[in-house]
């Protein structure tokens, strides 16, 4: 199963003109992504398809670029990354414990 090797990361920034700053203290700085724990959980939806379950409660919708009085924009970005190092480590452990491997 692939789901234990998936990681969800989030970046939350305030954009004013060309500059970005972190939003609400969620990220340490504009280069550090927040990593969510407990990712890789799955559920079956109403169509019988398997879905990944992620907590995206940090997502914020605010601001616009074409409003008469400019508001700060909040940019919420998410990435799903595959943890290749953990896959290799688990494969190595399994091979050292299984003589057939």
- Tens digits of per-residue pLDDT, 39-80? 667 888 999 998 888 878 888 776 566 665 667 788 899 998
pTM over 0.75: no
Q: Name the 3-class secondary structure at 14.
A: strand
Residue 12 phi/psi, 5-degree rounding, is -130, 115
Q: Show me where the domains of the chain are located.
A: 3-97
Q: 54 with 39: CB under 8 angstroms? A: yes
Residue 62 per-residue DSSP state: B
Q: What is the pLDDT of residues 21-43, one digit of tens each?
A: 999 899 999 999 999 876 667 88
């Amino acid at each position: 199963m692939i789901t234990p090797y998936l990681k969800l990361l989030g970046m939350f920034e305030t954009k004013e003109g060309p500059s970005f700053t972190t939003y609400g203290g969620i990220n340490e700085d504009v280069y550090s992504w927040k990593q969510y724990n407990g990712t890789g959980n799955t559920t079956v939806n109403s169509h019988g398809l398997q879905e990944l379950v992620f907590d995206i409660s940090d997502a914020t919708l605010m601001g616009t670029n074409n409003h008469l009085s400019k508001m700060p924009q909040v940019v919420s970005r998410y990435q799903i990354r595959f943890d290749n190092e953990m896959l290799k480590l688990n494969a190595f452990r399994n091979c050292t414990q299984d003589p057939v491997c």
